[in-house]
Amino acid sequence: MELNIYKTVVIPAGGTSGNCDLILTQDGAYDILAKVLAGADEATSATSTVVLDTRVPGTPLNYKREKVSACENKITFTAVSDGGNTVKVVLFRST
């Protein structure tokens, strides 16, 4: 597998701690690895796959609640046509 260089971070001699930012801007699967160089020495991490999916489901439409009895309500709605992003609707209630 061939990966393209995304970002090179130069750290001070002796190392450092902290995080390196990785900004992904397009949905898709990314194979990520880190290669560390110290003089003539080199170490490479295992490759990890990260999937970025920023699509979100739409809001249900035509929400309606009908009181059937003192302890029963009928809830109806229409799932939005959002290209398949909505695969399940979960209803919650307060106690």
Mean pLDDT of 54-69: 89
**pLDDT reading at 69 higher than 90:** yes
- The pTM for the full model equals 0.50
- Higher pLDDT pick, 58 / 10: 58
What is the domain partition of the chain in residue ranges? 1-54, 55-95
Q: Extract the runs of DSSP E, i.e. beta strands, from 1-95.
A: 28-32, 35-38, 41-44, 48-52, 61-69, 72-78
Q: Are 36 and 52 in contact (CB under 8 A)?
A: no
Name 41's bridge partners.
Answer: 38
Distance CA(20)–CA(46), nearest Å, equals 17
pLDDT at 66: 94
What digits encode the pLDDT tens for the residues 73-95? Answer: 899 998 888 887 888 888 888 87
